Structure 1
Amino acid sequence: MEGLWIITVALTVAVVLLENVWRRRLDKDSKVIKWPAGPRPLPIIGNLHQLYKGGDLLHVTLANIAQVHGRIMTVWLGSSRPTIVVSDHELAWEVLVSKAPDYAARMLPYMSKFVTANWRTLATSDSGSYWQALRKGLQSCALNPPNISAQIHLQEKDMAHMIQSLQEEASMSGVVKPLLQLRRTTVRLVGRLCFGPEFKDEVFVEGMDSAVEDTIRLTGHIRLVDVFAFTRHIPGLKLPFQQTYEVKHRIEELIRPYISSHQSSDSPCPNCYLHFLLSQDLPEQVVIFNIFELFLLGVDSTSTATAWALAFLIRDPAIQQKLYEEINESGTENTVSVQAVSKMQYLHAVVKESMRMKPIAPLAVPHKAVKDSTLMGTKVMEGTSVLVNLYAVLYDPNVWHEPHRFMPERFLHPLKDGSGNDGSNAAAHLLRAMERSFLPFGAGRRICAGIELAKIHIALTLANLVKNFEWHCEFEGQLPDLTEDLTFVLRMKTPLAACIKPRHL
């Protein structure tokens, strides 16, 4: 008992001392830096007790806290330097567009360095000449419009292959889980952009799909490592690091043969991303993980976005029927073409509304101030992390009428959404606010490089799925579960399962 008493006293004294040090630091910082208002932090843990409670995910909790502390606020993740969170479209626009050069650096999780060549990929490197060269190279070769157009017929063949695979899956039990087919269809698309239009390696497709999934799964450990750096050295917590190294090795083994093949080829494909990266004389690790980044950012985001859209269509059969009628009126065969999709206004409205309600990256990628700057007049010090809560922006009731309602029509007739708009100056202001608030791909200089391809791919996939099948609940009366799970992207906690009925027998 005496030993327990001594330990209790020692811990109490330690906590008191730490709290005093913490309070002095806060007082000192507040005299030097006037941080935006925010919830009062505790020693050591900061605001973690407020951010991870009640069962809500972080983007929802931050949006709720912002209703109390304002559209710009300060939160502490542990005892590290605080993060400024913005929850308003005007502030988001200022960070991403108006003052993009001021906030062009990245604030990234520690463990992400292992699968990004120490943050030397396009998405993880700070803006500068190196980043500009990577971005320009990607857009001028792999994402060059003529190059994408030349591969459209292959993308449409992927759709036919996916439809056939789903039909076979449904013939066994009547139920399909489409996410696997959606992911692998995207792996094939990205594979051709990275390695050339002749890419047809199904072993690679399966292996890369698995590597992407494992990388996303391991992001769950990132928060702990970044908030409490000392956990990197605790033996019992080293397993995720070992698993990350294993995944890293698998990625290298998948991509390295393509590097060797390209270098030894007499006629290497000049329009693929790999060709550009090798032309820059970059280290092999940098080449490998810039290639992997395209799969990591493209595969799960587009497939998950399509799955969310399907879930909404199952929950609202009237919208699904209206979408089918638009697709059917296009006069396409069983496989819908890219050209036909480009003319389908309601289809694109459905995709936009789904992405508004379930933004794939609700907290975007954290930015970091590269110099002293301001946000709406509030001073922001160099090195400060700035987080844009896209979820809060996309659910702002002052911009989006009935934001929790799935309503694609809002993108067709934004001034006739039931909110009483009458075409006045106020309505025009609201329309501008909607345009600046719809930021699922980000905005400004660091907007997603593959935004146009991603939008077309999601719309093309959804059009083909609705054209060929009626989508229904897995169990009658039990709607798809829209509960969210936030890892690398915003996924369904329960992956979508549905009954499908072929429309053309």
Structure 2
Amino acid sequence: MATFFRYFTCNSLPSYAHLFFTFALFFLSCLPIVGNLFQVARSGKPFFQYVDDLRRKYGPIFTLRMGTRTIIILSDAMLCHEAFIEKGAIFAGRPRENPTRNIFSCNKFTVNSAVYGLEWRSLRRNLVQNMLSSSRIKEFHSIRSQAMDKLIDRLRAEAKANGGVVSVLKNARFAVFCILLRMCFGIEMDEETIEKMDLITKNVLITLDPRIDDFLPILRPFFGKQRKRALQVRKQQLENITPFIQQRRVALRNPGSNNSAMRFSYLDTLFDLKVEGRNSAPSNSELVSLCSEFINGGTDTTATVLEWGIAQLIHNPNIQSKLFDEIKSTVGDRTVEEKDVENMKYLQAIVKEVLRKHPPTYFLLTHAATEATTLGGFNIPIGANLEVFLPGISEDPKIWSNPEKFDPDRFYIGKEDADITGVTMVKMIPFGAGRRICPGLKMATVHIHLMLARMVQEFEWTAYPPNSDIDFSGKFEFTVVMSNTLKSRIKPRGDTR
């Protein structure tokens, strides 16, 4: 459910435009329209590192002129509370988008991209009330249970074939993706179809990578090849997802058929959705965009958190042992179920600490000011983009003791606490805050708790290669993943070999 500014270079341009771009950017760097773009490119650093350097020099709020955009960077808890809680409506806007992005959002007809107003309220209300409420989430518990069993089986099979070594992110991502597909379309797909859907999803995310023409629209004529590619990817997306929409529509119209046994789905809530300000139900193309958003929003973010969580348990075997003891004392020899998680306070503390130390994103989804206002005493112009640099908050020594340390006890024994919604006080907001907070927060935390508990209940996780140190540096690939994809050696619990 997050996106970031990636460090862009000439590589984002078609080859025939490299020379022109280099000359043009050098020439235009003296003009106000380019602003800080040249400095960012010349730094040779990913954007998040560039921002981290600047905040240490200039403080928790500063402005970057990125081409035609005014970007205000926040890295302070109190400023975020003022922006998203106290002045939530003013900062609930979204920035104008590159036309390429509008291809996939159907001109901002998705929850995350919609303009703050009636249409957005209708889309979000439907998603939250009909799919992401606590009661509705519980209705899908059997799907999660089946996906967890498949996850454990996949890990066992991979370990058997590779001398006990498994890939954490790949398997976690596949499990979450399967859950969300079932929730979205109401049917179980075979593995070949799932992999095909996953490939389409990845192609869309790659196509939506930020580019230099997001900031300098004058360069868009040089990106014709990229736009053509985006249209091809969108065509593939429509061709592959629309048949599932049509099948579902037919099944709902013929309740006496065998298809009527299909489970309730997100798609069911969209067919006759009444959107304020519109007279028609969503088109097939809009349904594809909404379904894709539902699937994309919870897949990579959840899997990423699991990868960081397992890495920390490997790095801190005493924490892993303590978690296993809690699981054992709570459920005994039976399999962990969702209802058990509510009684596992140490598990909850670990997940909260993972979210603090390793939020899925460096930046929240971009907000935009809907009117001129002030923030922390500084003037904010209408249309200004607001970017929140999360590590500046979750690692702030003024609000966290020893923030560099991974320490679940800060939450477990009550030394510290934090409302991850940011309503009472902003200390960590991995899912955002205020009106635009991620609607999938509850579902994501259910998935993370259950998956981590099952993975630790079934296996002991150790470093691979043996006795090697974990590299906790991160990089951006849709979410913040580990620079070196985590491989782990697993041993089934109770196996004395």
TM-score relative to the length of structure 1: 0.83
1:476 and 1:240, CA in 2 relative to 1: closer, same or farther beyond 3 A?
A: farther
- Alignment map for 1:11-50 (pairs within 5 Å): 21-22=31-32, 44=34, 46-50=36-40
Residues 1:473 and 2:455 aligned together: no
Name the residue aligned to 1:329.
329
- Alignment map for 1:264-413 (pairs within 5 Å): 264-265=250-251, 266-267=254-255, 271-280=264-273, 281-333=281-333, 335-413=335-413
SS at match of 1:437: coil
SS at match of 2:426: helix
Amino acid at match of 1:307: E
The answer as to whether partners of 1:334 and 1:464 remain within 8 angstroms in 2 is no
Residues 1:252 and 2:252 aligned together: no
1:117 and 1:100, CA in 2 relative to 1: closer, same or farther beyond 3 A?
A: same
Name the residue aligned to 2:18.
none
The answer as to whether partners of 2:330 and 2:340 remain within 8 angstroms in 1 is yes
- Alignment map for 1:67-466 (pairs within 5 Å): 67-77=56-66, 79-107=67-95, 109-110=97-98, 111-173=100-162, 174-196=164-186, 198-220=187-209, 222-234=210-222, 238-265=224-251, 266-267=254-255, 271-280=264-273, 281-333=281-333, 335-415=335-415, 435-466=425-456
1:253 and 1:347, CA in 2 relative to 1: closer, same or farther beyond 3 A?
A: same
- What CA distance in whole angstroms lies between the structure 1 residues aligned with 2:42 and 2:319? 35
Amino acid at match of 1:459: H
Percentage identity across paired residues of the two chains:
28
The answer as to whether partners of 1:83 and 1:386 remain within 8 angstroms in 2 is yes
SS at match of 1:440: coil
- What CA distance in whole angstroms lies between the structure 1 residues aligned with 2:191 and 2:106? 26
The superposition leaves residues 88-107 of structure 1 with CA deviations (integer Å, 9 ceiling, x where unpaired) of 00111122211110011112
Greater helix share, structure number: 1
- What CA distance in whole angstroms lies between the structure 2 residues aligned with 1:240 and 1:178? 33
- What CA distance in whole angstroms lies between the structure 2 residues aligned with 1:149 and 1:305? 21
* Cα shift at 1:468: 0.6
* Cα shift at 1:271: 4.4
The answer as to whether partners of 1:361 and 1:440 remain within 8 angstroms in 2 is yes
Gaps of 5+ in 1: 1-10, 23-42, 418-427
- What CA distance in whole angstroms lies between the structure 2 residues aligned with 1:218 and 1:14? 24
The answer as to whether partners of 2:143 and 2:182 remain within 8 angstroms in 1 is no
Amino acid at match of 2:395: Y
- What CA distance in whole angstroms lies between the structure 2 residues aligned with 1:125 and 1:491? 27
SS at match of 2:270: helix
- What CA distance in whole angstroms lies between the structure 2 residues aligned with 1:203 and 1:453? 26
Name the residue aligned to 1:37.
none
Name the residue aligned to 1:39.
none
Amino acid at match of 2:76: D
The answer as to whether partners of 1:178 and 1:307 remain within 8 angstroms in 2 is yes
The answer as to whether partners of 1:400 and 1:434 remain within 8 angstroms in 2 is no
The answer as to whether partners of 1:93 and 1:436 remain within 8 angstroms in 2 is yes
* Cα shift at 1:58: 2.5
Amino acid at match of 1:152: H
SS at match of 2:462: strand
SS at match of 2:444: helix
More moved, 360-369 vs 62-71: 62-71
The answer as to whether partners of 2:363 and 2:389 remain within 8 angstroms in 1 is yes
Amino acid at match of 1:446: R
More moved, 433-442 vs 396-405: 433-442
SS at match of 2:349: helix
* Cα shift at 1:152: 0.8
SS at match of 2:379: strand
- Please tell me the root mean square deviation across aligned C-alpha atoms, in Å: 2.7
SS at match of 2:177: helix
- What CA distance in whole angstroms lies between the structure 2 residues aligned with 1:210 and 1:90? 41
TM-score relative to the length of structure 2: 0.85
- What CA distance in whole angstroms lies between the structure 1 residues aligned with 2:25 and 2:356? 44
Q: How many residues get paired?
A: 455
Q: Select the structure of larger CA radius of gyration.
A: 1
The answer as to whether partners of 2:364 and 2:388 remain within 8 angstroms in 1 is yes
The answer as to whether partners of 2:35 and 2:64 remain within 8 angstroms in 1 is no
- What CA distance in whole angstroms lies between the structure 2 residues aligned with 1:501 and 1:51? 46
Name the residue aligned to 2:14.
none
- What CA distance in whole angstroms lies between the structure 1 residues aligned with 2:235 and 2:486? 31
The answer as to whether partners of 1:166 and 1:176 remain within 8 angstroms in 2 is yes
1:151 and 1:19, CA in 2 relative to 1: closer, same or farther beyond 3 A?
A: closer
1:478 and 1:230, CA in 2 relative to 1: closer, same or farther beyond 3 A?
A: farther
1:68 and 1:279, CA in 2 relative to 1: closer, same or farther beyond 3 A?
A: same
